[in-house]
Amino acid sequence: MIRLSLVALMLLLGACQTRPPVGPLPDSVATLQNWNLSGRLGYRAGNDGGSASIDWRQRHPEGEIHFSGPVGIGSARLFWAPGSAELDTGKEQLSAASSAELAWRLTGLWLPVEALQFWVRGLPWPDAPGEEQRNELGQLTALQQLGWSLTFSDYLPSGELALPQRIRASHDDQRFTLVIRKWEPLP
């Protein structure tokens, strides 16, 4: 009876796990559209600033970033899909057409989340002009885009891909540093 209960419990727990998408991993950073990453975001906007741990789950075309730590609220979840975005701080829930607007409500940064989905992979956002610099391996090291000055460093190998571990950005009196501790590219 105990054995049967243990087997049933193991099957039940296994059924509750979220399984990542299946299939082959992308063979280039440009084709990578699904990932999990975790890291730390430090930011400053004028005289205000803060930092937070982040867990980012991207399943193209939707994305979700969970912020935890001292972002002024403890934790928050930013979710976006085409044409809509939601921010849940645990105290209030906000909706907007743009994830950038909700990121601003959370941090005070006008953070173009749509562009950040490319920048985090070491790519310029294709919907806006930009000036880029690359190293001898073809990796993006600097980018001027949407008024932001960005630097990319410490590329990490993740399977066949090399992805930036550190991104520093500034725009007028706004700046952020994103340090990625773990990349998990998904099919």
Q: What's the confidence (pLDDT) of residue 159?
A: 82
Residue 23 lies in a domain: no
Residue 95 lies in a domain: yes
Give yes or no for residue 14 having a pLDDT over 90. Answer: no
DSSP string, 44-64: EETTEEEEEEEEEEEETTEEE
Residues 112, 148: Cα–Cα separation, whole Å = 10
Q: Cα–Cα distances in Å, from 151 out to 75, 97, 122, 155?
A: 27, 29, 9, 12
DSSP 29: G
The whole domain housing 107 covers: 33-186
Band the pLDDT of 74: cuts 50, 70, 90. Answer: confident
Pairing between β-strand 74-81 and β-strand 62-69 as defined by DSSP bridges = antiparallel
Q: What's the confidence (pLDDT) of residue 72?
A: 56
Give yes or no for residue 24 having a pLDDT over 50. Answer: yes
Give yes or no for residue 25 having a pLDDT over 90. Answer: no
Band the pLDDT of 181: cuts 50, 70, 90. Answer: very high
Give yes or no for residue 156 having a pLDDT over 70. Answer: yes
Residue 133 lies in a domain: yes
Q: What's the confidence (pLDDT) of residue 21?
A: 55
Residue 12 lies in a domain: no
Residue 170 lies in a domain: yes
CATH code of residue 128: 2.50.20.10
Residue 63 lies in a domain: yes
162: β partners: 157
User: Strand, coil or helix: what is 139?
Assistant: coil
Band the pLDDT of 178: cuts 50, 70, 90. Answer: very high
Q: Give percent above pLDDT 90 in the chain.
A: 71
64: β partners: 57, 79
Q: How far is CA 88 from the centre of its chain?
A: 17
Q: What is the mean pLDDT of residues 27-41?
A: 95
Take residue 43 and report the two structure tokens written for it. Answer: 């930011």
Residue 6 lies in a domain: no
Residue 173 lies in a domain: yes
Are 150 and 139 in contact by the 8 Å Cβ rule? The answer is no
Write out pLDDT tens, residues 86-143. Answer: 999 989 999 999 999 999 988 888 889 999 999 999 999 999 999 999 999 999 999 9
Band the pLDDT of 163: cuts 50, 70, 90. Answer: very high
CB contact set of 60 (below 8 Å; sequence gap of 6+): 33, 34
44-48, 154-158, 172-176: which is most confident: 172-176
Residues 61, 67: Cα–Cα separation, whole Å = 20
Q: Give percent above pLDDT 70 in the chain.
A: 86
Q: What is the mean pLDDT of the chain?
A: 87
Are 155 and 28 in contact by the 8 Å Cβ rule? The answer is no
Q: Count of domains in the chain?
A: 1
Give yes or no for residue 20 having a pLDDT over 80. Answer: no
Residues 184, 18: Cα–Cα separation, whole Å = 15
Which amino acid, one-letter code, is at 46?
G
